[in-house]
């Protein structure tokens, strides 16, 4: 990877002297950004572009060059890749389009490229990409002209699945005063993918923050592993957020677990910050350049009362608290003025004060006397006050450097003059209040997640080898849950109504009767559940009626049997579900259960295996957690038993990879303990 970002020699293939030739622009960009290595150019005809001779064959350049950049029609690319192999060029960037993104023929060409690369031990970027930028070495390989004034050198590196997005991010990070270090557009990622680039950038000394733009995640688990080991913040802007499958779900879990919800959960679990937009990602990166935000207590200081009210809404939205202002702080602030014009509230409205130098002193008082986790300073000013606003920004910059405390400076200047502050100070300057609070939240969330590995019980337990599943048993899912230590209501399986009555006698009354069939997914939908049956005759009679109902609605249910189960009353119905995700492997769902699980969709997700902290967070995230805490006089559910059940279910998922889907619904969360009363699975027989 180092030779891709720090090549000592580059050959650009596809160059001509024609003004509209795209490959010649690559040479222009290299000259513009001061690349100091050796350059070569290959084209159909001899010539010269930007002082670089064009030769008609790769045979005329030296062997063993560090990097080749290919921009020719797609059918010609495999031939040039083969030539690179013969010349000992082991790193290639393919900017040409027309491969798997375009047609079946293009897909075959892409497969040919991969075969040639394997044979010659070549690693390549793309195809179908706008290429690589490394401002640390003057490497700028896009085929579109880029002005030196548009890009600023800085600590953020960008990996994007779109060439246009990669350039937009480079320009936006630069315009925000952060700057970029390395930028790569990965295109079709036929060889190197986001995990390869991320692994390199996490070790790269010039990169302090990594921003990824992804439209698909192929190896989600690998991405999570890298993020967990990273000492650098990772921001991911994941687009293409629709459901991955339009197939009819075979279980509640599959219906509720669309890919995007799993992606968000996996990112949160691994400490990846997920951005919803360009501006969101830039704000996050700005916040991460400030000193760490360690907690939720925030002080807001504003020159405008209206801005202060709006800011308070954002404070609540992003999970901060407005720290109370102690009397000694209020007294110290009031002592700065002759009139008693400051209300002792947070947000602190300084609208009647026109001395910007005093704003800086108030910020210093707040940091010293209140010790908040962060300060948000909002300055609104006119064009005639520009000098004072610039002086205030410089003073805040000094305060942040001297105290090591985070202060987010948000400026609103008449006629856009606030933008002039960007780049004049070392701290970020925000032009929007919500982005400023979002930035502080990103810093808080990143540093909070980084601290979690030190917490006891945060690591998942080791897994055991998988064992054969009881595939032929109609109650196999329940049996598997019981094997993993999840309490299950006592049950028996019967072939006919008489057998059901005998089983009920053995279990004790009252009982629940359920229809068992591989053709029946949701039992209650076809009249396949009867509750509270009090005696033998009621069980036999209901079994006869249930058999008739189910066969009328599902004629193909010729394997119908009956599950007889001791009736368990009370508790809150919850669901534990799991499935195999193509990108993340075994994933888990928790939420309110019963027949309305898909109606309310009140669920949370995690990638298995779970740590105890993961299980706790899953319970906390659902909106209906108040029901588990005890509502309207009901006793609270046994939270520890819920956590233990979730951890056992996680082990079950990881240790049995042939389970395509499995769910316990409902799992009754009781005041003491939990009990599974129904479970079903879908097994991958491959």
- Structural contact between residues 174 and 201, judged by C-beta atoms closer than 8 angstroms: no
Query: Are the CB atoms for 575 and 593 separated by under 8 Å?
Result: yes
Read off the pLDDT band of 251 (50, 70, 90): very low
For residue 415, give Cα distances in angstroms to 154, 353, 386.
28, 22, 11
Asked whether the beta carbons of 157 and 181 are under 8 A apart, the reply is yes
Question: Is a pLDDT exceeding 90 seen at residue 107?
Answer: yes
pLDDT of 453: 54
Task: For residue 21, give both structure tokens.
Answer: 């030739």
CATH hierarchy code of domain 291-453: 3.40.50.261
The answer to whether domain 2-215 and domain 291-453 are alike in fold is yes
- Given a contact cutoff of 8 angstroms between Cβ atoms, the answer to whether 293 and 430 are in contact is no
Question: What is the band of 471 on the pLDDT scale with cuts at 50, 70, 90?
Answer: low
- The C-alpha R_g of the chain, in whole angstroms, comes to 31
CA dist., res. 455 & res. 270, Å (int): 15
Classified as helix, coil or strand, 23 is helix
| pLDDT of 679 above 70 | yes
Q: What is the DSSP letter of 47?
A: E
Domain locations in the chain as residue ranges = 2-215, 291-453, 490-566, 572-683
How far is CA 632 from its chain centroid?
37
Task: For residue range 48-67, list pLDDT tens digits in order.
Answer: 999 999 999 999 999 999 99
The answer to whether residues 301 and 350 touch, using CB atoms and an 8 Å cutoff, is: yes
Tell whether pTM > 0.85.
yes
pLDDT in tens, 112-131: 999 999 999 999 999 999 98
Mean pLDDT of the chain: 90
Instruction: State the fold for domain 490-566.
Output: Dna Ligase; domain 1 (3.30.1490)
- Which of 177-181, 421-425, 440-444, 523-527 bottoms out in mean pLDDT, i.e. has the lowest? 523-527
Which of 277, 234, 239, 264 is CA-nearest to residue 581?
Answer: 264
Q: Which fold has domain 2-215?
A: Rossmann fold (3.40.50)
Q: What is the mean pLDDT of residues 509-531?
A: 88
Residue 157 φ/ψ, nearest 5 degrees: -115, 145
User: pLDDT by residue (tens digit) across 326-377?
Assistant: 988 888 888 876 555 567 789 998 876 778 889 999 999 999 999 999 999 9
SS3 of 257-279: CCHHHHHHHHHHHHCCEEECCHH
Match 């010790």 to its residue by tokens: 371
The dotted CATH code for 572-683 is 3.30.470.20
Nearest to 57 by CA among 44, 67, 68, 66: 44
Distance from C-alpha of 522 to C-alpha of 545, rounded to nearest angstrom = 18
Condensed to tens digits (0 to 9), the pLDDT of residues 357-369 reads 899 999 999 999 9
């Amino acid at each position: 990877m180092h030779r891709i970002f720090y090549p000592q020699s580059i050959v650009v293939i596809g160059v001509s002297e024609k003004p509209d030739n795209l490959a010649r622009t690559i040479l222009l960009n290299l000259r513009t950004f001061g690349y100091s290595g050796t350059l070569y150019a290959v084209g159909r005809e001899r010539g010269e572009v930007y002082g670089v001779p064009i030769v008609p064959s790769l045979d005329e350049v030296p062997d063993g060059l560090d990097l080749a950049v290919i921009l020719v029609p797609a059918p010609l690319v495999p031939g040039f890749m083969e030539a690179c192999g013969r010349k000992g060029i082991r790193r290639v960037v393919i900017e040409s389009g027309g491969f798997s993104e375009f047609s079946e023929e293009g897909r075959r060409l892409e497969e040919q490229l991969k075969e040639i690369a394997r044979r010659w031990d070549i690693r390549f970027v793309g195809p179908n990409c706008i290429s690589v930028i490394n401002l640390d070495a003057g490497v700028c390989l896009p085929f579109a002209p880029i002005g030196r004034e548009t890009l600023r050198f800085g600590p953020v590196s960008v990996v994007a699945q779109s060439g246009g997005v990669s350039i937009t991010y480079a320009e936006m990070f630069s315009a925000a005063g952060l700057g970029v270090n390395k930028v790569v557009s990965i295109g079709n990622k036929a060889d190197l993918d986001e995990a390869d680039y991320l692994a390199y950038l996490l070790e790269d000394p010039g990169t302090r923050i990594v921003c990824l733009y992804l439209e698909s995640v192929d190896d989600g688990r690998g991405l999570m592993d890298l993020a967990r080991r990273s000492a650098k913040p990772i921001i991911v802007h994941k687009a293409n957020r629709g459901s991955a499958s339009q197939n009819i779900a075979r279980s509640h879990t599959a219906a509720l677990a669309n890919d995007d919800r799993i992606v968000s959960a996996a990112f949160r679990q691994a400490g990846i910050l997920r951005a919803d937009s360009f501006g969101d990602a830039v704000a996050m990166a700005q916040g991460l350049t400030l000193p760490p935000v360690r907690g939720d207590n925030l002080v807001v200081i504003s020159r405008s009362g209206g801005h202060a009210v709006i800011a308070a809404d954002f404070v609540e939205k992003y999970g901060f608290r407005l720290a109370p202002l102690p009397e000694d702080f209020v007294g110290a602030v009031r002592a700065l003025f002759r009139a008693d014009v400051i209300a002792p509230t947070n947000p602190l409205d300084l609208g009647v004060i026109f001395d910007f130098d005093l704003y800086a002193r108030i910020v210093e008082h707040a940091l010293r006397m209140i010790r908040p986790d962060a300060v948000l300073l909002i300055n609104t000013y006119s064009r005639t006050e520009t000098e004072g606003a610039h002086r205030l920004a410089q003073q805040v910059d000094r305060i942040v450097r001297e105290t090591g405390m985070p202060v987010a400076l948000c400026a609103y200047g008449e006629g856009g003059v606030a933008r002039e502050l960007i780049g004049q100070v070392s701290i970020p300057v925000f032009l929007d209040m919500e982005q400023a609070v979002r930035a502080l939240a990103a810093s808080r969330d990143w540093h909070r997640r980084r601290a979690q590995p030190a917490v006891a019980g945060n690591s998942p337990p080791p897994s055991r080898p998988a064992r054969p599943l009881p595939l032929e048993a109609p109650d196999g899912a329940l049996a598997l849950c019981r094997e993993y230590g999840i309490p299950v209501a006592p049950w028996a399986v019967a072939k006919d109504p008489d057998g059901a009555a005998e089983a009920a006698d053995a279990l004790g009354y009252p009982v629940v009767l359920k229809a068992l069939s591989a053709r029946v997914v949701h039992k209650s939908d076809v009249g396949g559940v009867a509750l509270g049956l009090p005696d033998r005759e009621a069980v036999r009679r209901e079994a006869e009626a249930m058999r008739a109902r189910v066969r009328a609605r599902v004629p193909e249910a010729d394997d119908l049997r009956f599950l007889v189960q001791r009736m368990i009353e009370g508790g809150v119905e919850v669901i534990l579900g799991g499935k195999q995700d193509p990108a993340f492997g075994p994933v888990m769902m928790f939420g309110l259960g019963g027949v309305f699980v898909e109606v309310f969709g009140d669920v949370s997700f995690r990638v298995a295996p779970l740590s105890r902290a993961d299980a706790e967070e899953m319970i906390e995230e659902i909106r209906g957690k108040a029901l588990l805490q005890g509502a309207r006089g009901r006793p609270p559910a046994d939270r520890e038993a819920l956590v233990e059940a979730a951890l056992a279910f996680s082990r079950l998922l990881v240790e049995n990879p042939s389970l395509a889907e499995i769910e316990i619904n409902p799992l009754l969360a009781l005041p003491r303990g939990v009990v599974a009363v129904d479970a079903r699975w879908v097994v991958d027989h491959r």
